[in-house]
Chain A
Amino acid sequence: MLHTKIIIDSTQEIFSTMIMLEITPGEPFTRGKEMLTNSISGLVGLAGTTKGMLAIHLPNQVAKLITTAFLGLEVEEIDEDVRDAIGELANMLAGSIKSALDPKGSDIKLSMPSAVHGEEYSVNCLANTQSFTVPFDLDGKTFLVELQLHMEG
């Protein structure tokens, strides 16, 4: 089970069926402790036999573009609509990734989504995890999908 393939397949599926925007996956990498600037991140926890976190990190501009495509509204700033849209996007991505990791549907559950946004912040998973990040190009700009899976022992 190649985790980066799961991330790529799930993200492309959500974007083509729910958001209707074209995206292109880039080279997977391991995200470090870099600060995110003028961005918004959607986060969802995974719990059960597999624990982890799914995050999508988007520069504000990309988040607004996606919110407009998803909700059919023009948005000027990172307002409640954008935060809800990005939280929902993280939720859908986590759902799709969970189905690939747990086809029986009984072993992994999703937590409530959260959105973090600001001028400058960092998001760091604190458990002992395997980390996979895939960058995606959307109209010349980049966003990241990051999956952290807890390793036992």
Chain B
Amino acid sequence: MEFAKKITRTTEEIFNTMIFLEISPEAPLAEGKLVIPCHISAMIGLTGDFTGMLSIHCPAPVGLAIAGAMLGMDLEEVDADVKDALGEIANMLAGGLKEAFAAENIALEIAIPTAISGKSYTISSPTGSNRVIIPFKVEQGQFFVEMKYSLN
């Protein structure tokens, strides 16, 4: 399914064309129990030939930087603007992935983005499902794009 490659490509394309922030992809995180230290996540469900959940996870400073770059504003706190911006990024990422899979005759529909934020939360998917997490480095730290999926 080449999730890592598709995620990396789609993320880079979106950041280069819509957000204008320098990012560098890192190697996918290894399998196993992972706790990603984040304060803001945007998630969007995918369904069709397989089911999944795409998320972008950011620590607060990175979330503020990304949303700020996208909106052309200096943002101080994780408020509605930041959530909306990250939700829109999740939406665009899902759209990009949908296109990439469609080119391989794998059909997907996209749900709607949801923002999760807080000082301490954990997001999990059903035991036995698969996940691919790609970290991206930016000036302010790292953000993570995660794809959880189940091949029906």
* Residues of A in contact with B (beta carbons under 8 Å apart): 33, 35, 43-48, 51-53, 55, 80, 83-84, 87-88, 109-127, 129, 148, 150
Contact = CB atoms under 8 A, between A and B. Distances in A.
Interface of B: 42-48, 51-53, 80, 83-84, 87-88, 109-127, 129, 148-150
Interface SS of chain B: strand
A87 B123 CA distance: 11
B126 A113 contact: yes
B52 A52 contact: no
Contacts, number: 133
8 contacts: A55-B114, A80-B124, A111-B51, A112-B51, A112-B53, A122-B115, A123-B115, A127-B113
B149 A112 contact: yes
A148 B113 CA distance: 11
Contacts of A118: 118, 120-122
B123 A47 contact: no
B51 A126 contact: no
A129 to B, nearest CB: 7
